[in-house]
Every structure is written in structure tokens, then in C-alpha cells.
Amino acid sequence: MDTTHPSERIDRFLAVERPALPCIVVDLDIVRARYMALHKQFPAASIFYAVKANPAPHIIAALADLGANFDLASPGEIERCRALGISAARLSYGNTIKHERDIAAAHAAGIDLFAFDSAPELLKLSRAAPGARVFCRLLVRNQGAEWPLTHKFGCDQHTAIELLLRARALGLRPVGVSFHVGSQQTDPRQWIAPIGQAAEIFRACARDGVDLSLLNLGGGLPANYRTLIPDLAAYAETIETALTADFGAARPHILVEPGRHLVGDAGLMRAGVVLVAERPHPGGPRWVYLDVGRYNGLAETQGEAIRYRLRTSRDGGETGRVILAGPSCDSTDIIYERTHYELPLDLVAGDWVDFLSTGAYTASYASVEFNGFPPIRTHCI
């Protein structure tokens, strides 16, 4: 089992501070390093951190200090960034599903960049954010993504062209196209086809006098879970080649909206073991019940989609197959049952289990009080 993780600082914090369990510890130095590495691979791109991945104010502030922009999904995320003193010019309202009143409030707060993917949303934008810059989200395949983000969002190429032209007629400023190849995208080639489609949309709009200038490549860059992933450089090279092939010298301004890649590997979740029991009788499958589960931090284990790497306080001895489950009185609160996980045979209640690379889509995904369990606490160090 690969139990390496990039932060000695987190280990030291856990050993010295002994925080109450369960908890998540995020190493801000890793977040910063990830941002700088991404900037190096995509030097001409504007980086918009997808705040939904982890909205901890310390993370937002650390990235803001490095010059990041922010992709926002809701009034709550907008307020959080504004409260941290981040100027509206650095914010993009990237959710394609917004109340008209929320669009109006965002516009009044100075936000000037909005996503849409349907005619009714475009009409809302024209009424509530007249003259704003808007980009259209394209529906793209999400093959290769461990956490797909398709079919609920995006429109086809033909519709995108029609809507972008209509945006101009409605008094908005159509600036470009976005897409999302699915989160935890393990295959860099998945960016190739959408970049080609975007170039066709740019050309079609130009023929009708609408010059688009912005291409938003979305999120999708991965974190280190159990599946081996390519290096960031492989993603950058594939994307660079596609941009050159499809846009040549007329390259648009590139935006990237990473969430998981910037914060996933920066976090570690430490859970306490509540119970180890063989069911339905001694000698049956060994169930390990933890004080975190689907509803208080491990939402992305739904469908066993995201498979975290684990480490325990008993590592080193003999291991055996386990079913991992959360603490609530709900039988959907099973973390891994089909996926093969082994844990030490001598693991008992009171031990701990670490979920590595849990800085993204964990704390913010937790319920507020399902079964009375409080939301998991995050320590940013």
C-alpha cells in the first residue's frame, strides 16, 4: 500500500497538537507549491481557484496572496472572497444555475464575468447583469473522470454558437467558451476534442461578427488517490499541442479552474476507529467502523468513486480484507465495500485511520448534523 504523503508538517502537527478526531489537516505550503507549479506549466493562463473544492478562508487567502482569481458557485462563496478583501475583478460566477436575484447581487458587487449554458439563464443575465461578460459552457464527454460532471451542465456546439450570438443581441458581452472534462480526470487527452470544438465555435461566431477571446479549460486536474495519474506536465503538453493545432497564432486568453489539484494532496483526514466487528457472525467479513463516513467528510466515496489511500496507527503487521463504514445509523453510510481494501488484522477501536489526499471536496461536503455528528473540523497549518 502506498502511504506516502507530501507533508511532514502535517505529521508533526498531529503528533504534537493531538487534535480531537476526526479532523482534517491542510498544509498551506503544499497549496502554495501546487499553485506555483501550475502557474509554471500554464504561464499565460489565468488561474481561477474553484472555491467549492475547499472554501477554508486560510486557503483562499493564501492563494489570493499568490495572485489567484476565483471561480465561485454561490452568493456564500462570493461573500467569503469579498470578506477577505479580494476585488470583484478577480471573481468569476461560474455556476450555470443561478437565481436572478443572486446574479443581480453579484453584478452590483462588481462581478463582471458569468457562465451560462441555456437560453433562460442568458435572459436572466441580460436582465440582472446588463453589459456583463459571459461565457458559454459546452457539454463534453467525461470519459476518464473518476468524478464526472457532465449531462447536468453544458449545451451542444450548435446551441453554444446560437446563444453566444444571442448574448450580443441581448446587450451582453459574449467573451468565450468553457467546458469541464470531469473531476479527477485521469486522461490528459480528454481536453483535445473540446478544445477543437471551442475553436469551431470561435470561428463560427467570428463569421457573424462576434469575436470571442476567452477559453476556459475548467477543472479536472487530479489529486493522488489510488489510481496512478500522469504528471501535470503531461496535461500541460497535451493541452498546449491542442491549442496550437486548433487556434494557431490566434490563441485566446486561457483560464483554468482547478479545485482538486490545488488542495487535494494538501490535506489529510484522521479518523478514529469506533468498532471492528465480523458480520453476520464471527468469521464473516470484517467491518471497520470509523468516526467519519459518507455524511461527515467522505461524500466522494459515493459509488466508491474516489478511492483514497489509507494509513493506520497499526501499519506494519499482517493485513486482511475489510469493509469500511461510517458512524451513522444509515446503511448507505458505507465507505468501501466492493473496492478491495486491506487493513491491519490487529486494528481495534481507539486506533486511527488516515485518509490521504483529502484536502478537496471533504469538509465542505459534510452534513451539518446528520445523526447529530458535527461537521468535521479543518486545521490549516
> Which neighbouring-strand residues pair with 48?
69
Contact region with ligand PLP (CB under 6 A), list: 10-18, 55-63, 79-87, 214-222: 214-222
CA distances from 232 to 41, 78, 101, 187 (A): 8, 29, 39, 11
Which of 107, 261, 270, 294 contacts ligand PLP by CB under 6 A?
Answer: 261
- Least Å from the CB of residue 364 to ligand PLP: 11
Stretch that binds ligand PLP, among 48-56, 161-169, 331-339, 364-372 (CB under 6 A): 48-56
Among positions 25-44, residues that touch ligand PLP (CB under 6 A) are: none
When asked if residue 297 is in the footprint of ligand PLP (CB under 6 A), the reply is no
- Residue 180 or 311: which CB sits closer to ligand PLP? 180
Closest-by-Cβ residue to ligand PLP is 219
**Segment contacting ligand PLP by CB under 6 A, of 46-54, 98-106, 164-172, 247-255:** 46-54
| Measured distance between the N- and C-terminal CA atoms of the chain, rounded to whole angstroms | 27
By beta-carbon proximity to ligand PLP, the closer residue of 295 and 365 is 365
Q: How far is the CB of 94 from ligand PLP (least distance, A)?
A: 4
By CB under 6 A, tell whether 220 contacts ligand PLP. yes
Hey, which residues between 90 and 109 contact ligand PLP (CB under 6 A)?
94
| Least distance to ligand PLP, CB of residue 222, Å | 8
Which residues on neighbouring strands pair with residue 3, listed in sequence order? none
**Alpha carbon of 72 to those of 47, 96, 189, 365: distances in Å?**
13, 11, 26, 16
Name which of 153 and 352 has its Cβ closer to ligand PLP: 153
Binding part of the chain for ligand PLP, among 126-134, 160-168, 231-239, 253-261 by CB under 6 A, reads: 253-261
Q: Which three cell numbers stand for residue 125?
A: 443575465
Separation of alpha carbons 227 and 209, rounded Å: 46
Query: Mask 149-188, x = binds ligand PLP (CB under 6 A)?
Result: x------------------------------x--x-----
**Which lies closer to ligand PLP via its Cβ, residue 56 or residue 221?**
221
Length of the chain: 381
Q: At closest approach, how far in Å is the CB of 123 from ligand PLP?
A: 21
Can residue 294 be called a binding residue for ligand PLP (CB under 6 A)?
A: no
Least CB distance to ligand PLP at residue 315 (A): 29
Regarding 260 and contact with ligand PLP (CB under 6 A), the answer is yes
**Window 54 to 83, contacts with ligand PLP (CB under 6 A):** 71
Q: Which residue reads 465561485 in cell numbers? A: 72
- Min dist. Cβ of residue 50 to ligand PLP (A): 3
CB of 36 to ligand PLP, least distance (A): 17
| Contact by Cβ (8 Å): 186, 229 | yes
Q: Which is nearer to ligand PLP, 63 or 322 (CB)?
A: 63
Q: Which of 10, 14, 45, 53 binds ligand PLP (CB under 6 A)?
A: 53
Stretch that binds ligand PLP, among 126-134, 163-171, 187-195, 216-224 (CB under 6 A): 216-224
The site for ligand PLP (CB under 6 A) is made up of 50, 52-53, 71, 94, 149, 180, 183, 218-221, 257-261
